[in-house]
Structure 1
Amino acid sequence: MTIEAVVFDIGNVLIHWNPERFFDEAVGEARRREMFDKLDLHGMNERVDRGAHFGETIMAFAADNPEFADEIVLWHDRWIELASPAIDHSVRLLRALRRHGTPCFALSNFGVQTFEMAEMHYPFFKEFDRRYISGQMGVIKPSPEIYAAVEADCGLPPGSLLFTDDRADNIAAAEERGWQVHHFTRPEGLARRLVREGLLKASEAE
């Protein structure tokens, strides 16, 4: 089926998302390993992605875990450093597609307040034709409900959507619904896929 829209995940597709790397630099690898081994920090973040208030969630988690409270507060105070930098080649691909008139959607697990912060830091967040943000929707990938909501809102057949995401479980859930998919590892791979699908010329995908 002809591709009618390209759907981008954001974290580790358009911007880097690596809390472990940030904390290695901020507090040292040994302290980071101890903290991540003892605490479910990714579970804390998932609550934000489901719609919980960012500041309230982080500060409550810090209060509940005083041994690591100072480090947990960094997740709040220096959050943009956890979500940096942009993956410039991927951003160029997004913009090249839009110049061709190909609709581009965002489908991302992201908190309400953190998305607002990222939008201020990364102007290209405003360039999508449609944005599906888990915190606003109250459901996260890879739940089937989030993909169904995208289909219902955009009105396009599932087989006409090309979805790229760095997580295999998110890709598998979309593929089960009939979406075309690309498991993102590097922007060069996505570039080749877009050229192969006839959405971009090779020179436009560099």
Structure 2
Amino acid sequence: MAIEAVVFDIGNVLIEWNPERFYDAEIGPARRKELFATVDLHAVNDRVDQGHDFRETIYDTAKANPEFSDEIRLWHDRWIEMASPEIDHSVQALRALRDNGVPVYALSNFGIGSFALAQSHYDFLSEFDRPYISGHMGVIKPNPKIYQMLEDDSGTRPDALLFADDRADNIAMAAARGWQTHHFDGPTAWVERLVTEGLIRKEQIA
């Protein structure tokens, strides 16, 4: 089946997302390990991605864990430093696809507030033909409902979608629905896949 649209995850596909790296630099690996062992910040972030208020969710967690309150608030106050830098060749690939007339969608676990913040820093996050952001949708990957919502809204057949995501569970669910998939482990192979599929040309990527 010919590919009619390309779907990008955002974290670790278009923007690096590594909270542990940020915290290691800020508070040291030992303190970071203690924090993450005590407070499941990724689970807290899942609530944000499901549509809960960004600041309120993080600050309530900080209040409930006073021994780590300063560190936890960093998840909100300096979030953009965790969601950086952009992955340049992936961004170039997104823009090359659009230049070639290929519809480009986002399907990403992202909070309402955190996505708005990211858009204020990364202009390419406003360039999708259709952005499917979990916070606005009220459901996160790999729940099959979010994939169904994209299919229904876009009107694109599952087997005409090519989806790149860094997480194996998200890719597995997409594949189970009949999507074409690419398990992202770096921009080089992703660009090669898009070239092989005839969606972009190698010379479009600097």
Scaled by the length of structure 2, what TM-score is found? 0.99
| Map of 1:173 onto structure 2 | 173
Distance 1:198 1:17 in 2: 29
Is contact 1:111–1:133 with CA below 8 Å preserved after alignment? yes
Distance 1:132 1:200 in 2: 23
Is contact 1:195–1:205 with CA below 8 Å preserved after alignment? no
| Map of 1:15 onto structure 2 | 15
Distance 1:19 1:201 in 2: 34
| Map of 1:130 onto structure 2 | 130
Distance 1:194 1:204 in 2: 11
Find runs of 4+ consecutive structure 1 residues off by over 2 angstroms: none
One-letter amino acid of the counterpart of residue 161, structure 1: L
One-letter amino acid of the counterpart of residue 13, structure 2: V
| Map of 2:2 onto structure 1 | 2
| Map of 2:27 onto structure 1 | 27
One-letter amino acid of the counterpart of residue 194, structure 2: L
Distance 1:193 1:152 in 2: 26
2:17 match: secondary structure = coil
| Map of 2:93 onto structure 1 | 93
Distance 2:11 2:177 in 1: 22
Gap regions ≥5 residues in structure 1:
none
1:204 is displaced (CA, Å) by: 2.0
Matched residue pairs, number? 206
Distance 1:4 1:76 in 2: 37
1:137 is displaced (CA, Å) by: 0.2
2:181 match: secondary structure = strand
1:106 match: secondary structure = strand
1:4 is displaced (CA, Å) by: 0.3
One-letter amino acid of the counterpart of residue 202, structure 2: A
Distance 1:102 1:15 in 2: 21
| Map of 2:81 onto structure 1 | 81
| Map of 1:115 onto structure 2 | 115
1:96-136 Cα offsets, whole Å, 9 max, x none, are 01000000000000000000000000001111000000000
1:205 is displaced (CA, Å) by: 3.9
1:101 match: secondary structure = coil
1:142 match: secondary structure = coil
Distance 1:100 1:181 in 2: 20
Distance 1:40 1:125 in 2: 28
Scaled by the length of structure 1, what TM-score is found? 0.99
Distance 1:4 1:146 in 2: 19
1:200 is displaced (CA, Å) by: 1.3
1:38 is displaced (CA, Å) by: 1.4
| Map of 2:52 onto structure 1 | 52
Distance 1:128 1:23 in 2: 31
1:202 is displaced (CA, Å) by: 2.1
Distance 2:174 2:205 in 1: 24
Distance 2:42 2:66 in 1: 18
